[in-house]
Amino acid sequence: MSALTITLNREQKLYVMRHQNKSFSCLGFDVVANRIDEMHEFFTTKQNMVLPAKPIRKGTMKAYNFYNLLVDLARGLYKEKGIKTPTELSAQLNGLEGKQVEVVDCYGETRRFYVGRSTGFIPCHLEISHHNSSGGGAVTGTPFKRVTVISAK
């Protein structure tokens, strides 16, 4: 894994990760805060873990480091017990894997895709463009205003 340099872009509300190979990736302050909330809830209520208190202020390095701690816990839970952390799956799409859906996302945009699911220790739903595609990006725009099943794969 390449070394990271993490900076805050407060204007755009982003954590900016610069990789050793000079590429960049970003995570929004709101995305990290939501993931912290969902993962903290999963670990404390479903796994009965005792965790430190969540950071109060989003958009801080303390919050980002706490998120990384939770990701490390998820990785360890999977390695030790084979339990995946389902916090990045959309409840609205659970059970629709393999089906084509039309959604109206939280921004009012309408789109169609086949619902896929990643295989990692923190799985997420995927937007697959065609029934014979081999992959796709993570689902965005949740919670959806509407989800309609169009067809089965």
Q: Please tell me the predicted confidence (pLDDT) of residue 128.
A: 97
CA 142 to chain centre: 11
Does residue 25 surpass a pLDDT of 90? yes
Where are the strands (E) in the chain, listed by range? 4-9, 14-19, 24-28, 99-104, 110-117, 125-128, 137-138, 146-152
pLDDT one-digit tens code per residue, 34-69: 999 999 999 999 999 999 999 889 999 999 999 999
Does residue 86 surpass a pLDDT of 60? yes
pLDDT one-digit tens code per residue, 88-106: 999 999 999 999 999 999 9
Q: Mean of the per-residue pLDDT values for the chain?
A: 94
Q: Is 13 helix (H, G, I), strand (E, B) or coil?
A: coil
For the chain, domain boundaries: 4-81, 99-152
DSSP 8-state symbol, 97: T
Does residue 1 surpass a pLDDT of 60? no
Predicted model pTM: 0.88
Does residue 2 surpass a pLDDT of 90? no
Residue 42 identity (one-letter amino acid):
F
Q: How confident is the model at residue 84 (pLDDT cuts 50, 70, 90)?
A: very high
Q: Please tell me the predicted confidence (pLDDT) of residue 10.
A: 97
72 phi and psi angles, rounded to 5 deg? -60, -40
